Amino acid sequence: MTFTRVLIANRGEIARRIQRGCGKLGLESVAVFSEADRDAPFVIDADHAVCIGGAAPSESYLNIEAILEAARATGAGAVHPGYGFLSENAGFAAAVEAAGLVFIGPEADAIARMGSKIEAKAAAEEARVPVLPGYRGADQSDARLLEEARALGTPFLVKASAGGGGRGMRLVTDLKEAPEAITSARAEAKGAFGDAAVFLERYAPRTRHVEVQILGDSHGTVLHLGDRDCSLQRNHQKLIEEAPAADLPEAMRDDMRMAAVRLAQSIAYRSAGTVEYLYDPARGEYYFLEMNTRLQVEHPVAEAITGVDLVEWQLRIARGEALTLAQSDVQFDGHAIEVRVAAENPSENFLPETGQIHFGNRPQGCGWTPGSSAARSSDITTIP
């Protein structure tokens, strides 16, 4: 599990963040980039850089064979997926391992299991983590789903098993709407994720979105690094992430954190990950939502209040190192907020789209120091 050079299968800010983590441990970084990103900062900052295809993600950042060929060509011994793109693709993790490389993340089996909302909720139940009432059975026939919908009662959600970002999800407030909601959710899930399986879940209005950062090694140790609130969202995308979650009863906070550790231990989870919950203040209850088997965009707020470098520990865990921290060593100090900037088109019902920033002030301080290494022109190659 020894490696000295890490290929980063991603782009932009997260690629630069991982480069800084590599530099901290004396590891060389390899950037892979599309033709459109040839002059991007993350390419310039890397120790080595390889062009792997055209501007379309399918030709570059989602091209598994091109990424593996780049790793072979540059002598990289490990691959970090970042977030997005292939980060929660169990097939990619398995392909990296099959190529004799180290995947910096959890085992492929854990990614696959948590990638299915149905299987993830079953794992949560086994680990004694609360879940919302609903139907998550293998029988996906219309008759069975409608029967379960009647038994569950309204309001309820039809949700895609492989879903995310609100795709493949429908709210049903009248049972007459159930057949159409099931049909449309299946179709969207199939188109977006290649998996038409859906499940039913009681709808819990006015809940908060609270998540727990966890970190596990290959030696059986799992820690939590506190919680954060991600309730303020638009188009099912988080806008503000806040750590720790404000106005959360301490007994509830402790229970959420330990339930996340319990779930991660039950699936022998390694690397960084996040267990997400819905918290219902009116009922005083929380419910497992999903587990993200990767580093998240909002990981810096957990780092800010704990002083724990998640990327450094991802790299160290991937090398087989054991966590040197006990849970009692993790101290929480202060408060951190991350805000995302979103661009929308008001003439298209405010649909998200790419926007332009015409002016702004670059933030300064912890976490914003650019990488000091620079790619040499002789290290930039193109793989057909």
By percentage, how much of the chain surpasses pLDDT 70?
95
What are the extents of the domains in the chain?
A: 5-104+368-382, 133-202, 208-340
For β-strands 5-8 and 28-34, DSSP reports them as parallel
pLDDT of residue 73: 97
User: What are 40's two structure tokens?
Assistant: 């991007």
Mean pLDDT, residues 119-147: 96
Q: Which pLDDT tens digit goes with each residue over 62-90?
A: 999 999 999 999 999 999 999 999 999 99
pLDDT of residue 365: 65
Banded model confidence at residue 376, pLDDT cuts 50, 70, 90: very low
Mean pLDDT, residues 44-51: 97
Residue 207 has pLDDT above 90, yes or no: yes
- The alpha helices in 64-198, defined as continuous H runs, are 64-74, 90-98, 108-115, 117-126, 142-152, 178-193
* Of 40, 27, 37, 43, nearest in space to 75 by CA: 27
Q: Which pLDDT tens digit goes with each residue over 93-124?
A: 999 999 999 999 999 999 999 999 999 999 99
d(CA 163, CA 380): 37
Contact between 314 and 272 under an 8 Å Cβ cutoff? The reply is yes
pLDDT of residue 374: 36
Contact between 137 and 144 under an 8 Å Cβ cutoff? The reply is yes
Give the CA distances from residue 106 to residues 9, 102, 143, 224, 269, in Å, rounded to whole numbers and listed in that order.
Answer: 15, 11, 38, 16, 6
For β-strands 5-8 and 78-80, DSSP reports them as parallel
| Level-2 CATH architecture, domain 133-202 | 2-Layer Sandwich (3.30)
Q: Which pLDDT tens digit goes with each residue over 59-68?
A: 999 999 999 9
Q: Which pLDDT tens digit goes with each residue over 180-197?
A: 999 999 999 999 899 999
Banded model confidence at residue 6, pLDDT cuts 50, 70, 90: very high
Mean pLDDT of the chain: 92
Cis peptide upstream of residue 179 (ω within 30 degrees of 0): no
Strands (E), the chain: 5-8, 28-34, 48-53, 78-80, 102-103, 134-135, 156-164, 167-172, 198-202, 208-216, 222-229, 233-234, 237-238, 240-243, 271-280, 285-292, 336-339, 344-345, 351-352, 380-382
Amino acid at 35: E
Query: Catalytic residue at 294?
Result: yes
Residue 377 has pLDDT above 50, yes or no: no
d(CA 77, CA 105): 14
* pTM: predicted TM-score of the whole model, two decimal places: 0.89
By percentage, how much of the chain surpasses pLDDT 90?
85
Q: Which CATH class is domain 208-340?
A: alpha beta
Banded model confidence at residue 382, pLDDT cuts 50, 70, 90: very low
What is the dotted CATH code of the domain comprising 5-104+368-382?
A: 3.40.50.20
157: β partners: 171, 201
pLDDT of residue 372: 35
Q: Any idea which of 35-39, 123-127, 314-318, 362-366 has the lowest mean pLDDT?
A: 362-366
Residue 378 has pLDDT above 50, yes or no: no
Sheet holding 156-164, edge to edge: 134-135, 198-202, 156-164, 167-172
> What is residue 316's three-state secondary structure?
helix
* Of 269, 275, 272, nearest in space to 219 by CA: 269
The dihedral built from the CA positions of residue 321, 326, 327 and 333, taken in this order, carries a sign that is negative
Residue 313 has pLDDT above 60, yes or no: yes
The one catalytic residue in 11, 170, 208, 294 is 294
Q: Which pLDDT tens digit goes with each residue over 335-373?
A: 999 998 888 999 998 888 887 788 887 767 665 444 333
Mean pLDDT, residues 216-224: 97
